[in-house]
Amino acid sequence: MIAAVNGIAAGAGFSLAVATDLAIASETAAFVMAYTNAGLVPDGSSTFFFPRRIGDRRTRELMLTNRRLSAVEALEWGS
């Protein structure tokens, strides 16, 4: 599965992008968990795929802080 992200991928959109075989993002794309901002537990396969793709610490950082991840940073992290 291939994802093309041109804008903000939030919540399940971010989870789907991480679950793909190949994700292509524009330089202006951004990613955010969004679940914790709404008082929800992260889902949409993020609890399975994120630790395997970017590691446990980075996953916890994104899930607990709800910060926005730029496309450049996502590329560096390998997500």
- Residue among 55, 30, 29, 16 at smallest CA distance from 2: 16
CATH number at residue 22: 3.90.226.10
Domain count, the chain: 1
pLDDT at residue 67, rounded to an integer: 93
- Residue among 21, 24, 22, 42 at smallest CA distance from 32: 42
pLDDT at residue 33, rounded to an integer: 92
Full residue range of the structural domain in which residue 27 is found: 2-77
Q: What is the pLDDT of residues 15-74, one digit of tens each?
A: 999 999 999 999 999 999 998 888 888 888 899 999 999 999 999 999 999 999 999 999
pLDDT at residue 8, rounded to an integer: 96
pLDDT exceeds 80 at position 79: no
- Residue among 5, 1, 20, 9 at smallest CA distance from 62: 9
